[in-house]
């Protein structure tokens, strides 16, 4: 049998565990964290206890070393629970991934092992700090510099829109080390500790959705970083920052599927309860067609995510497929949540009902980890360059 759409027993168990966690620990507090923007520490403590944090860190650093496909089932369920809390959890994975891919064993032992060890008053968090005030899509426009002085690198510049910045113990930072080369070996990645002199973390941004995931700017002023904290080789920064997305984009896309599924389930439930013209609105064909499109697109989106993840686990290049999953699922979640609000009519527009939060949460999927326009640029580039 060459094609199998099923999950293994282990993956089914992972999915059930993540689903129970989402239902029992995330959903009950999702509205509170949306209203207040309060960082979900209590949920994260429990997530660490049950093994839902840092899932891709390898056993040699105390983690489970889960594969990309395993990550799909977890990401979908967590986002079904609350994608704001899910993003706070998954941002660790984004910052860790380039270190897993390119970091020395010593660097992994120093920065990844303590994150899986637990035992602290709160879980250890980290952040992926690439975007800058003037450079998001255009990563080659980075202005943060790292200059070698003696046996140290001195970093100056600022980052913007960094998830987990306010709570992270360390940052994965990409800086320009050779302005003449940029993406062709002129950018270098570093681990910078939050406690280092010259690191200033900005105010929390109050965003449209996913409001409890902590997004801030960071400024680096003559921050001295040891040579040991270079991730990979000098000049590997661009390559590592982009390679991480081949792992994380399918997972972010599956999170979008989780939000869309939540919205569809709410819409189905409401459509069977709400009556107009003497019958449940579920009997109106216009409502049925909206629900049918939701179900079809959610299934299609999940399959794109699974394929991209399966390719990664099989050791195949999946840059195009990861971008396809991201572009498609981000649009699906926006469309599905918007139509879920439509199914609820006026009640959908009210904070008293769950779907307006889902619609606000959905928008970011078209922006972070590369906008929907950038995904399409990547897909087209891969189409023209791959033989």
Task: Show which residues are catalytic.
Answer: 369
Nearest residue (CB) to ligand FAD, 219 versus 371: 371
Which single residue brings its beta carbon nearest to ligand FAD? Answer: 136
Minimum gap (Å) between residue 366 Cβ and ligand FAD: 8
Binding to ligand FAD in span 270-289, by CB under 6 A: none
Which residue in 96, 160, 95 sits closest to 134, CA to CA?
160
Map residue 198 onto helix, strand or coil: coil
Spatial distance between the Cα atoms of 238 and 186, rounded to a whole number of angstroms: 8
Nearer residue to ligand FAD within complex by CB, 116 or 144: 144
Residues touching ligand FAD, count (CB under 6 A): 22
Burial class (CB in 10 A: 0-12, 13-18, 19+), 17: middle
Q: Which is nearer to ligand FAD, 70 or 214 (CB)?
A: 214
By CB under 6 A, the residues from 212 to 251 that bind ligand FAD are 215
Beta carbon of residue 314, minimum distance to ligand FAD (angstroms, whole number): 28
Which of the residues 361 through 380 are near ligand FAD (CB under 6 A)? 364, 367-368, 370-371, 373-374, 377
Stretch of 5-13, 55-63, 150-158, 360-368 lying at the interface with ligand FAD (CB under 6 A): 360-368
Contacts with ligand FAD, 122-151, as mask; x by CB under 6 A: -----xxxxx----xxx-------------
SS3 387: coil
Q: How far is the CB of 95 from ligand FAD (least distance, A)?
A: 8
Residues 67-96 that bind ligand FAD (CB under 6 A): 91
- Token couple for 314: 């099989």
* Cα separation, 165 vs 169, whole angstroms: 9
Contact 353, 360 (CB under 8 A): no
Specify whether the CB–CB gap between 182 and 143 falls below 8 A. no
H or E stretch covering 157: strand 152-163
What is the chain's Cα-based Rg?
21
What is the Cα 225 distance to its own chain's centre?
Answer: 27
Question: Minimum distance between the CB of residue 284 and ligand FAD, rounded to whole angstroms?
Answer: 35
Q: Rounded to the nearest whole angstrom, what is the least distance from the CB of residue 130 to ligand FAD in the complex?
A: 4
Burial class (CB in 10 A: 0-12, 13-18, 19+), 353: middle
Q: Rounded to the nearest whole angstrom, what is the least distance from the CB of residue 221 to ligand FAD in the complex?
A: 19
One symbol per residue from 151 to 170: x for binding ligand FAD (CB under 6 A), - otherwise; what is it? ----------xxx-------
Q: Burial of 150 by CB count in 10 Å (0-12 exposed, 13-18 middle, 19+ buried)?
A: exposed
Q: From 55, 77, 75, 51, select the one nearest 66 (Cα to Cα).
A: 55
73 vs 127 by CB, closer to ligand FAD? 127
The β-bridge partners of 135 are 132
What does the binding site for ligand FAD look like in residue numbers (CB under 6 A)? 91, 127-131, 136-138, 161-163, 207, 215, 364, 367-368, 370-371, 373-374, 377
């Amino acid at each position: 049998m060459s094609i199998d759409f099923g999950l293994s027993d282990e993956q089914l168990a992972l999915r059930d565990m993540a689903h129970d966690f989402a239902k029992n620990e995330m959903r009950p507090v999702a509205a509170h964290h949306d209203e207040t923007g309060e960082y979900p520490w209590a949920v994260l403590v429990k997530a660490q206890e049950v093994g839902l944090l840092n899932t891709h860190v390898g056993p040699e650093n105390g983690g489970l070393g889960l594969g990309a496909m395993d990550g799909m089932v977890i990401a979908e369920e967590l986002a079904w629970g609350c994608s704001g809390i899910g993003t706070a959890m998954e941002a660790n994975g984004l910052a860790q991934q380039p270190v897993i891919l390119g970091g020395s064993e010593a660097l992994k032992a120093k920065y990844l092992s303590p994150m899986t060890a637990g035992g602290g008053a709160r879980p250890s968090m980290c952040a992926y700090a690439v975007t800058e005030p003037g450079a998001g899509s255009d990563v080659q426009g980075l202005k943060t510099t790292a200059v070698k002085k003696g046996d140290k690198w001195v970093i100056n510049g600022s980052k913007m829109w960094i998830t987990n910045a306010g709570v992270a113990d360390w940052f994965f930072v990409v800086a320009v080390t050779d302005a003449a080369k940029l993406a062709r070996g002129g950018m270098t990645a570093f681990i910078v500790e939050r406690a280092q002199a010259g690191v200033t973390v900005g105010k929390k941004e109050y965003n449209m959705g996913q409001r409890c995931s902590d997004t801030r700017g960071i400024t680096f002023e003559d921050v001295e970083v040891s040579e040991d904290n270079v991730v990979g080789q000098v000049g590997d920064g661009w390559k590592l920052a982009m390679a991480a997305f081949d792992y994380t984009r399918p997972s972010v896309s599956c999170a979008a599927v989780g939000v869309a599924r939540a919205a569809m389930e709410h819409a189905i439930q409401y459509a069977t309860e709400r009556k107009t013209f003497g019958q449940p609105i579920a009997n109106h064909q216009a409502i049925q067609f909206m629900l049918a499109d939701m179900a079809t697109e959610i299934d299609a989106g999940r399959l794109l995510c699974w394929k991209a993840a399966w390719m990664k686990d099989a050791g195949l290049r999946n840059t195009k497929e990861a971008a396809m999953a991201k572009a498609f699922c981000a649009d699906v979640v926006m469309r599905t949540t918007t139509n879920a609000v439509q199914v609820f009519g006026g009640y959908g527009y009210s904070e008293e009902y769950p779907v307006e939060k889902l619609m606000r949460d959905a928008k970011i999927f078209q922006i972070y980890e590369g906008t929907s326009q950038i995904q399409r640029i990547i897909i087209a580039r891969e189409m023209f360059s791959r033989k």
